[in-house]
Amino acid sequence: MKRIFLLLAGLVAAGSACAQLRLPSLTLPSGLVGLDSLRRPAQQLVESAGLPDLRALRQDQVGQLLRRHPGVLEADPHGEPALRGEILAFNPTPAALDAARAAGLRVAREERLEELDQTLVVLRVPDGAATAQMLERLRALDPDGQYDFNHIYTGSGAAWAPAPAPAQEERTAQAPGAPRVGLVDSGVDRAHRALRGSGIQAWGCAGTAHPSAHGTAVAALMVGRDGRFRGAAPGAQLYAADIYCGDDPAGGSAERIAAALGWLAREQVGVINLSLVGPPNKALEGVVAAMVKRGHLLVAAVGNDGPAAPPLYPASYPGVVGVTAVGRNGEPLPEAARGPQVLFAAPGNNMVSAAPGDPPYRPVRGTSFAAPIVAGLLAPRLAHPDRARAREAIDALARQTSGVDGGTISNSLGYGIVGAELRTDPAWLR
């Protein structure tokens, strides 16, 4: 089967947005106005020095995170960010936990994912011990176990901080029978004009709303509708999990992603978008596998580290629908990942999406903004998790693609391009 916003605005030379980045200190560009009430020519609003190549930006931002927050974050042996002094154990046995305690670790938190029949345990490394060394020791003590760092996954300008308070849910009304789709991202501006017709069920942050640029843009590309702007499944009911909750550097941990997926499993949401990226992680891999086995379709951006970069996750896990981005003429973004993880391509450049504040629409670029289009197109085909129907939904969407010869799968476009008509070109705002 295989071939899961941050608006990059604040780059002074570019004035445009991109995906899979964490830039909490940067401000959003001004200029674009509502699609149905123009005040100035669009050319004055969107012209700039050009959209940036995103290849080096994720690693640059990872480096900044590690330098800014050394007390909260540390680098794993490959330079990827993780919560300092924490190890994730996926479905550990009682004997394995006893061995971990004997080695000096303590259980800090435990997350039971009831619908998936899985358990995630956070182990705290003893003071003075190196996390990487303790992880290797655990793996030696329990070779059949699944242990890893509590990695941080980037993809928004917001962040989530671990807290003892349980996540709260907030619900808004929606018409019966509307399609449903899930989102694991940063906070969504539920009052945005493009999202007013969508019922939104929110999870995370102990019930406190933290609207963000990335989450709002991704949500609108799935379910939004406003004048000439239209998402892939306008008016659908959105189940939005905020795993960042503001600007805390601990946001986006593998632990929080797993908890969000557990909530979406409980809510029986068939299609779930994850426009975030990071390294392979044993615990997250186990949760993703359980979701796929249950019949969920996890749709994920493949990332913008470049065609020769190592694969990013969760898009590269088996069974996940990896999505790349193309420009106005169907050309792959030069910074988009390539490989067998790419299953579909969708618009991800020369386009706008929703943003909190004024102006309400701003330019976006990156695979983060292609993935929600694919998720929205799949959502009406999979109302609830079902393995057979999930396969049928993929096959049906594959028959609607363009840009790739029928019956072949491309490392750059997968089955081909979908949703080209959903790209809202800034030039249309004239």
Confidence check: pLDDT of 34 > 90: no
What is the pLDDT confidence band of residue 14, given thresholds at 50, 70 and 90?
very low
Please report the pLDDT score of residue 28 as a whole number.
31
Fold that domain 155-428 belongs to in CATH:
Rossmann fold (3.40.50)
Most distant CA pair in the chain, distance = 68
Give the C-alpha separation, 425 to 323, whole Å. Answer: 20
The pLDDT of 125-152, averaged and rounded, is 97
Return the structure tokens found at 251. Answer: 């946001």
User: Which is the catalytic residue, given 16, 198, 253, 368?
Assistant: 368
Check if CATH label 1.25.40 holds for domain 69-151: no
Please report the pLDDT score of residue 117 as a whole number.
97
Percent of the chain past pLDDT 70, that is, above it, reads 82
Give the C-alpha separation, 333 to 312, whole Å. Answer: 16
User: Which is the catalytic residue, given 185, 189, 226, 248?
Assistant: 185
Please report the pLDDT score of residue 177 as a whole number.
64
Give the pLDDT confidence of 178-206 residue by residue, as tens digits: 789 999 999 999 999 999 988 999 999 98
The pLDDT of 150-157, averaged and rounded, is 76
What is the pLDDT confidence band of residue 53, given thresholds at 50, 70 and 90?
low
Nearest Cα neighbor of 103 from 125, 78, 131 is 125
Confidence check: pLDDT of 41 > 50: no
What is the pLDDT confidence band of residue 428, given thresholds at 50, 70 and 90?
confident
> 69-151 and 155-428 share one CATH topology?
no
Of the listed ranges 32-41, 84-93, 339-348, 352-361, the least confidently predicted one is 32-41
Give the pLDDT confidence of 342-356 residue by residue, as tens digits: 999 999 999 999 999
For residue 321, which phi and psi values (nearest 5 degrees)? -85, 95
Give the C-alpha separation, 237 to 271, whole Å. Answer: 12
CB 297 within 8 A of CB 182: no
Residue 95: half-sphere exposure toward Cβ, Cα within 13 Å: 5
Return the structure tokens found at 75. Answer: 């680098």
Give the C-alpha separation, 309 to 366, whole Å. Answer: 15
CB 372 within 8 A of CB 423: no
Residues paired with residue 237 on neighbouring β-strands, in sequence order: 180
Q: Kindly give, in sequence order, each residue whose CB lies less than 8 Å from that of residue 400, ignoring residues fewer than 6 positions away.
A: 418
Percent of the chain past pLDDT 90, that is, above it, reads 72
Confidence check: pLDDT of 171 > 50: no
CB 254 within 8 A of CB 284: yes
Mean confidence (pLDDT) of the chain: 84
Asked if 296 is an active-site residue, the reply is no
Give the C-alpha separation, 261 to 283, whole Å. Answer: 13
Q: Kindly give, in sequence order, each residue whose CB lies less than 8 Å from that of residue 89, ignoring residues fewer than 6 positions away.
A: 96, 97, 100, 120, 121, 122, 123, 138, 145, 146, 147, 283
Give the C-alpha separation, 126 to 132, whole Å. Answer: 12
Asked if 186 is an active-site residue, the reply is no
Angle, vertex CA 256, rays to CA 89 and CA 154, nearest 5:
110
User: Which is the catalytic residue, given 151, 192, 210, 214?
Assistant: 214
For residue 197, which phi and psi values (nearest 5 degrees)? -90, 0
Q: Per-domain residue ranges for the chain?
A: 69-151, 155-428
DSSP calls for 127-161: TT--HHHHHHHHHHH-TTSEEEEEEB-B-SS-B--
Give the pLDDT confidence of 88-124 residue by residue, as tens digits: 999 999 999 999 999 999 999 999 999 999 999 999 9
Nearest Cα neighbor of 3 from 307, 412, 370 is 412
Asked if 226 is an active-site residue, the reply is no
Task: Detail the DSSP E strand segments found in 34-134.
Answer: 73-75, 81-90, 106-113, 118-124
